[in-house]
A and B are shown apart, each in its own frame.
Chain A
């Protein structure tokens, strides 16, 4: 039963989410007074002829965790990748609307995309360490951005690995290949690699989906620590995870933002019927 509902919804992708109010209704009153680090305004996104995001306006407050939830295919990753212009490398894609980082439009003509991606880091669903040593992995971003001299490198690498709670496990084998680490360690290495360049925002696309519960626990703990220094956006299809790690949650459906609110509020007292249906497991 629940499966049919989902497949119907997926086949009708592109239409408005049933029961969804216009996006503007999703604005979060509790954001008042918070400093906004990133913001999208009426964002539309197209893969060739296919529109994947519809009119998304969303604010991401700084130094806290915002979670994106929603059924698979609803556009969470697409939206996340709009925030660091990662979609630029996919041919035939088109963006309409604005994405602001500290008030500046990242799709504007003055944007240095290399600098943008340094400031908005990303951790991927499948850990993707480079086939290089652990040290070189963490040093990579520092090196290409010219952020540290050769002499400073060991110190910066250590700092990043400590922040990613990986230092004690790898300090004796920094020169070993990163490919020899366990899945959970590889993902934390990717986090270390991302935080090494001191980004302002850290985007994480289902960072735990390939990890066992223990490794997942470690990464969640890490996210909790990192939010003190970084603005974190995490995509997850695990609602318990969203509830555990985030302060704010945005619920997406069929390419639209249905609801965005304090996590606690969204999970205990959702404003939309469709949100309630989703979080109570009636579909998806």
Chain B
């Protein structure tokens, strides 16, 4: 009797503590969102989305080039990081049970933890120094290097969750190991792999450091692979450290748009996953 009451009280305390922890974890998120929305929303305007930056001192203008630039950089990054990451993940699941596999796995984990500025320096050495020119390509490369380990590891994890009996089923029909992997295992794990890709995209969309000396910045609209290109994070950074009131306002608006980007990726990740999962079930 007394014991039951004690247990109930204890359970109540635990539930309360869990709730409190969730609350504490969410507070910063709400503050960040609230603050960015409050500061940024008032500066959002049609012009902000459609216009180029104005010269110093002139009020108005927008970040159209930076938004397009960010999308552009993400596409470049994804275009090589997704295939490389997925194929590396397939390698680890299908053939990576030996020492070399552990080495690859370890390297991916280390790479995942490398500060983004270091990745930026690497891409600088690889794609900027030889041609002595900042470029969108170099920026995309830097962001792609950050995506690869995330995609590799999620792909591997998700492929390991696919029942091995599917692989055997394909092999029993005369598929080669690689054929079985790409025609049966990867499609079966696709919802999860897509989520991994979108999470990786969300992760790199807001990176500033790797872009500072790769894609650099561009006051003009550009879609050239070999020219510097503007991006939201770098533009926000540039405006935020400037002494101009109007640029500060625009930086807040840019931050809001960037958060929106990441939000959209995350929601997309959920929707795509659900949809694909449902397709697989019924």
Chain A contact residues, CB within 8 Å of chain B: 84, 86, 89, 91, 114-115, 117-118, 121-122, 124, 126, 128-132, 140-141, 144-145, 176-177, 179-180, 190, 193-194, 197
Contact indicator A126/B165 (Cβ below 8 Å) = yes
**What is the minimal beta-carbon distance from A135 to any residue of chain B, in angstroms?**
15
Question: What number of A-B contacts does a CB cutoff of 8 Å give?
Answer: 77
Q: When chains A and B are docked, how far (Å) is the Cα of A131 from the Cα of B192?
A: 14
Apart from A130-B166, A177-B279: 8 A-B pairs, beta carbons within 8 A: A122-B172, A124-B172, A128-B169, A140-B173, A140-B175, A140-B183, A144-B174, A193-B173
Contact indicator A86/B165 (Cβ below 8 Å) = no
**What is the minimal beta-carbon distance from A127 to any residue of chain B, in angstroms?**
9
Given known pairs A128-B163, A179-B282, A180-B281, the reply for A194 and B168 (CB within 8 Å) is no
Q: Of A86, A179, A194, which one neighbours B280 at CB under 8 angstroms?
A: A179
Q: When chains A and B are docked, how far (Å) is the Cα of A122 from the Cα of B165?
A: 12
**What is the minimal beta-carbon distance from B86 to any residue of chain A, in angstroms?**
17
Contact indicator B174/A128 (Cβ below 8 Å) = no
Interface positions of B from 170 to 192, Cβ below 8 Å from A: 170-177, 179, 183-184, 187-188
Residues of B within 8 A of A115 (CB): 174
Q: When chains A and B are docked, how far (Å) is the Cα of A170 from the Cα of B176?
A: 29
Interface positions of B from 256 to 282, Cβ below 8 Å from A: 279-282
Chain B contact residues, CB within 8 Å of chain A: 97, 163, 165-177, 179, 183-184, 187-188, 279-282
Q: When chains A and B are docked, how far (Å) is the Cα of A126 from the Cα of B165?
A: 8
Given known pairs A91-B97, A126-B165, A131-B188, the reply for A121 and B282 (CB within 8 Å) is no
Residues of B within 8 A of A117 (CB): 171-174
Given known pairs A128-B165, A179-B281, the reply for A194 and B187 (CB within 8 Å) is no
Q: When chains A and B are docked, how far (Å) is the Cα of A122 from the Cα of B175?
A: 13
Q: When chains A and B are docked, how far (Å) is the Cα of A117 from the Cα of B179?
A: 14
Contact indicator A132/B187 (Cβ below 8 Å) = yes
Contact indicator A86/B169 (Cβ below 8 Å) = no
Q: When chains A and B are docked, how far (Å) is the Cα of A177 from the Cα of B184?
A: 14
Q: Of B163, B165, B281, which one neighbours A177 at CB under 8 angstroms?
A: B281
Contact indicator A124/B165 (Cβ below 8 Å) = yes
Residues of B within 8 A of A197 (CB): 173-174
Q: Which residue of B lies closest to A137 (CB)?
A: B169
Q: Of A129, A132, A176, A194, which one neighbours B173 at CB under 8 angstroms?
A: A194
Residues of B within 8 A of A122 (CB): 168, 172
Contact indicator B282/A190 (Cβ below 8 Å) = no
Residues of B within 8 A of A179 (CB): 280-282
Residues of B within 8 A of A118 (CB): 173-174
Contact indicator B281/A141 (Cβ below 8 Å) = no
**What is the minimal beta-carbon distance from B67 to any residue of chain A, in angstroms?**
37
**What is the minimal beta-carbon distance from A71 to any residue of chain B, in angstroms?**
23
Q: Which residue of B lies closest to A130 (CB)?
A: B184
Contact indicator A121/B172 (Cβ below 8 Å) = yes
Contact indicator A180/B174 (Cβ below 8 Å) = no
Q: When chains A and B are docked, how far (Å) is the Cα of A144 from the Cα of B173?
A: 8
Q: List the 3 closest A-B pairs by CB distance, nearest first.
A: A141-B173, A118-B174, A122-B172
Q: When chains A and B are docked, how far (Å) is the Cα of A190 from the Cα of B281?
A: 17
Q: When chains A and B are docked, how far (Å) is the Cα of A176 from the Cα of B279?
A: 9
Q: When chains A and B are docked, how far (Å) is the Cα of A230 from the Cα of B97?
A: 37
Residues of B within 8 A of A194 (CB): 172-173
Residues of A within 8 A of B280 (CB): 131, 177, 179
CB<8 Å pairs between A and B, sample of 11: A86-B168, A121-B172, A121-B173, A124-B168, A124-B172, A130-B187, A131-B280, A132-B187, A140-B183, A180-B281, A180-B282
Q: Which residue of A lies closest to B278 (CB)?
A: A177
Q: When chains A and B are docked, how far (Å) is the Cα of A91 from the Cα of B96?
A: 12
Q: When chains A and B are docked, how far (Å) is the Cα of A132 from the Cα of B188?
A: 8
Q: When chains A and B are docked, how far (Å) is the Cα of A129 from the Cα of B188?
A: 11
Q: Which residue of B lies closest to A85 (CB)?
A: B171
Contact indicator B172/A84 (Cβ below 8 Å) = yes
Q: When chains A and B are docked, how far (Å) is the Cα of A89 from the Cα of B163?
A: 15
**What is the minimal beta-carbon distance from B223 to any residue of chain A, in angstroms?**
38
Contact indicator B183/A144 (Cβ below 8 Å) = yes
Residues of A within 8 A of B173 (CB): 117-118, 121, 140-141, 144-145, 193-194, 197
Residues of A within 8 A of B167 (CB): 89
**What is the minimal beta-carbon distance from A176 to any residue of chain B, in angstroms?**
8
Q: When chains A and B are docked, how far (Å) is the Cα of A197 from the Cα of B169?
A: 13
Residues of B within 8 A of A128 (CB): 163, 165-166, 168-169
Q: Which residue of A lies closest to B98 (CB)?
A: A91
Residues of B within 8 A of A129 (CB): 169
Q: Which residue of B lies closest to A190 (CB)?
A: B169
Q: Which residue of B lies closest to A180 (CB)?
A: B282
Contact indicator B171/A86 (Cβ below 8 Å) = yes
Q: When chains A and B are docked, how far (Å) is the Cα of A114 from the Cα of B282?
A: 31
Q: Which residue of B lies closest to A125 (CB)?
A: B165
